[in-house]
C-alpha cells in the first residue's frame, strides 16, 4: 500500500492572452436513446429551459437561441444556435430554506450528483431517505478543481443548507468535512476523492455501504448552492486543462475554464492545436479514448470534468504479457491484489476493489487491468 501522495503533480503554467469562448458554432447536445423530449422542435429556448429528461435528470438549454432536432445513424442530437446574451451566474444570497425549497430546484434546475453522475440529485436524495449517515466531503474524485475556497467564502449559505438537511434527515448523523471536521489528510492524494475510499478510511465501513450513505462532494455542493441561493441552473462546469509533452512532462493551466453544456471546444483547439494534435478526457487513471482535435468535440457537463492535451499518441500501443513486477498490487490502495487476475499471484479480492485505475496506470505491460476487473466482476457477481 503506497504511503506518499500518488496523484501526478503537474507543473503549473500561466496562461497568456484572452480567448474567445462564445462562438458562432451551435451548442450540441446528445440525448440518451431512452430520453424523453420535452419540446416540439424547432423551438426558441431560453437559458434553463428543459429540453429533455433522461436517467440522470432534466437537461436544460445552456443558452438563449433556436433549438432544432437532428437525426443520423449515430443517434439524435439537439443543436442550439445562440442569439441572445450569455447569462452569467449571480451572487449567492443566504436565506432560510424549507424542505420543498431544496428538493424542487434539484429537478427544475437540472442538478446531478457529480459524485455519482448517473443519478439526478433529486433521485439520489430520494434513494437515501432512510440513511443514518450523511458525509459532506472535501474532495472531488481527482481534485482537478478545488471548490473549498468558494464554499468557505459562502459559509452562511452552508449553514442554512445544514439546517434544512437536518430537517430532511432527522435521524441521520451529519459529518461535515467542509467546515466542522478536520480533513483526514493534510494534502489531497488520489484516491481520497473516490466516495467509497473516503468513507472506508474515515468511517471504517466496507465499500458496499456507500449505497446507504448520502455522500455530497464539494462540486455537488457548489452547484447545489448556486441553484438554491442564486437560482442558477446546472448548465456549465469548471474544468481543468492539462498538457502532456513529448518527454512525458505534465503541466496544468493555472486557471480553470468554465464550459457550458454542449459547447464546442473549437476555441481551445484553435489556441492549443499548433502544439497538441490529440486530447483525452478526465482522469489519468481511466482509459478514455484519445481523440483528434481536428474532429472537434462538444462538452458534456455530466460526464466530463477535465481536458488533457497530448503532443503525441501511439494508437498501435499493445498489451504485453504480465512480467509479475508487482507494481499493481503493491500500489493498490486497498490491497485488492489485482495482479491475481493476470498471474498466479494469490487471489483477487473484489470486495476491496473500487476500480480506481491505479493498477492500469502503473502497469509496464500496458495491461488494461480495470477492464480485466470489470470482466471478472460481471462473470462472478453479475455487476
Is the distance from CB of 244 to CB of 11 less than 8 angstroms? no
Nine-digit cell string for 367: 495491461
Indicate the pTM of the whole model: 0.90
Does pLDDT of 345 surpass 60? yes
Nine-digit cell string for 374: 470489470
Q: Provide the pLDDT for residue 1.
A: 38
Nine-digit cell string for 237: 462546469
| Segment among 99-108, 224-233, 346-355 with least mean pLDDT | 346-355
At residue 100, φ and ψ (nearest 5 deg) are: -65, -25
Of 153, 301, 131, nearest to 216 by C-alpha is: 131
Nearest-angstrom CA–CA distance, 370 and 274: 33
State the average pLDDT over residues 179-185. Answer: 92
Q: What is the percentage of the chain residues whose pLDDT exceeds 70? A: 92
165-174: pLDDT as tens digits? 999 999 999 9
297-321: pLDDT as tens digits? 999 999 999 999 998 766 656 788 8
Which residue, chain included where needed, has cell 458534456? Answer: 300
Q: CA angle at residue 235 from 232 to 236, to 5 degrees?
A: 105
Nine-digit cell string for 363: 502497469
213-243: pLDDT as tens digits? 999 999 999 999 999 999 999 999 999 999 9
Query: Three-state secondary structure along 193-240?
Result: CCHHHHHHHHHCCCHHHHHHCEEECHHHHHHHHHHHHHCCCCCEEEEE
SS3 373: helix
Amino acid at each position: 500500500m503506497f504511503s506518499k501522495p500518488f496523484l501526478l503533480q503537474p507543473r503549473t503554467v500561466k496562461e497568456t492572452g484572452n480567448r474567445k469562448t462564445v462562438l458562432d458554432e451551435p451548442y450540441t447536445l446528445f440525448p440518451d436513446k431512452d430520453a424523453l423530449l420535452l419540446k416540439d422542435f424547432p423551438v426558441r429556448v431560453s437559458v434553463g429551459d428543459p429540453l429533455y429528461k433522461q436517467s440522470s435528470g432534466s437537461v436544460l438549454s445552456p443558452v438563449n437561441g433556436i433549438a432544432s432536432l437532428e437525426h443520423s445513424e449515430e443517434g439524435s442530437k439537439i443543436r442550439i444556435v445562440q442569439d441572445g446574451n450569455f447569462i452569467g451566474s449571480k451572487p449567492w444570497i443566504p436565506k432560510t430554506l424549507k424542505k420543498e425549497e431544496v428538493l424542487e430546484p434539484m429537478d427544475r434546475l437540472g442538478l446531478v450528483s457529480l459524485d455519482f453522475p448517473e443519478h439526478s440529485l433529486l433521485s439520489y436524495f430520494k434513494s437515501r431517505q432512510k440513511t443514518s449517515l450523511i458525509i459532506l466531503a472535501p474532495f472531488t474524485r481527482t481534485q482537478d478543481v478545488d471548490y473549498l475556497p468558494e464554499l468557505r467564502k459562502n459559509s452562511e449559505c452552508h449553514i442554512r443548507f445544514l439546517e434544512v438537511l437536518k430537517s430532511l434527515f432527522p435521524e441521520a448523523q451529519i459529518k461535515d468535512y467542509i467546515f466542522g471536521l478536520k480533513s483526514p489528510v493534510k494534502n489531497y492524494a488520489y484516491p481520497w476523492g473516490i466516495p467509497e475510499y473516503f468513507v472506508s478510511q474515515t468511517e471504517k465501513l466496507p465499500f458496499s455501504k456507500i449505497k446507504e450513505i448520502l455522500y455530497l462532494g464539494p462540486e455537488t455542493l457548489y452547484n447545489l448552492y448556486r441553484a438554491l441561493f442564486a437560482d442558477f441552473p446546472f448548465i456549465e462546469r469548471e474544468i481543468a486543462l492539462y498538457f502532456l509533452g513529448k518527454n512525458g512532462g505534465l503541466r496544468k493551466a493555472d486557471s480553470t475554464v468554465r464550459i457550458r453544456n454542449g459547447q464546442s471546444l473549437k476555441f481551445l483547439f484553435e489556441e492549443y492545436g499548433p502544439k497538441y494534435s490529440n486530447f483525452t478526457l478526465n482522469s489519468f487513471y481511466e482509459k478514455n479514448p484519445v481523440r483528434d482535435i481536428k474532429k472537434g468535440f462538444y462538452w458534456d457537463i455530466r460526464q466530463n470534468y477535465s481536458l488533457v492535451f497530448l503532443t503525441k499518441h501511439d494508437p498501435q500501443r499493445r498489451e504485453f504479457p504480465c512480467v509479475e513486477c508487482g507494481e499493481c498490487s503493491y500500489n493498490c490502495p486497498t490491497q485488492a491484489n489485482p495482479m491475481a487476475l493476470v498471474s498466479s499471484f494469490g487471489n483477487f479480492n473484489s470486495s476491496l476493489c473500487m476500480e480506481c485505475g491505479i493498477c492500469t496506470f502503473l502497469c509496464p505491460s500496458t495491461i488494461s487491468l480495470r477492464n480485466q476487473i470489470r470482466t471478472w466482476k460481471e462473470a462472478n457477481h453479475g455487476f
